[in-house]
Structure 1
Amino acid sequence: MKVAKTSLVAMLLEVGEENAAVLLARSTLPDELDTDTDLDVLLTFGLEREQVDEMACLTIGGIEADDVNTRRRRDETDKTISRRWADLVDRWLT
């Protein structure tokens, strides 16, 4: 199943999987993921097969044309990820 990387990151953040979301966002995986071919890498982020399948189903339709709204949503997701990453690093250091 193909899904946008940013959509999967957003879904992970929404369900409380911050560590996996940060690892996925920072990964070298392409912007469009195939849950079958990229499954092994996704599992290394601490996810289980069922979680990947469930979140991929929830993000169906996440791959859209690269229009202004899509870029805006992508930018918002990137900012959210950056804030959460900074928060996680602060927690790890304190």
Structure 2
Amino acid sequence: MKVEKSSLVAMLLEVGEENAAVLLARSDLPDEIDTDHDLDALLAFGLDRDEVSEVARLAVGAIESDDVNTRRRRGELEKTISRRWADLVEQWKS
């Protein structure tokens, strides 16, 4: 799976893998990481295969985080979008 290095670093931080995140951020790996090709390097940061797979899928949005703050932010965004649509429809009807 291909994933942006910055996204992977951010997701590692979010799931509490600070050491791996710092090591990845400072590594010579390219800006786009292929988790299959670069697996050995990722394992060297203290991650196991399952963690690499899960964090990569989280980073690309293939699965959702159980983080309460993420769900709260998504809910706030949905409300904002709903209000905006309601305002646009109201303007259109007037």
TM-score, normalised with respect to structure 1: 0.63
Q: 1:41-73: CA deviations, max 9, x gaps?
A: 000000000000001111116xxxxxxxxxxxx
Larger Rg: 2
Q: Determine what percentage of the aligned residue pairs are the same residue.
A: 75
Provide runs of 4+ in structure 1 moved above 2 Å.
Answer: none
| Aligned residue type for 1:8 | L
For structure 2, the 5+ residue unaligned runs are 62-94
- Give the equivalent residue in structure 2 for 1:35: 35
Q: 1:11-64: CA deviations, max 9, x gaps?
A: 000011110000000000000000000000000000000000001111116xxx
| Aligned residue type for 1:24 | L
> Paired residues, what number?
61
TM-score, normalised with respect to structure 2: 0.63
Computed over aligned residues only, the root mean square deviation of the Cα atoms, in angstroms, reads 0.8
Greater RCO structure (CA 8 Å; 6+ sep): 1
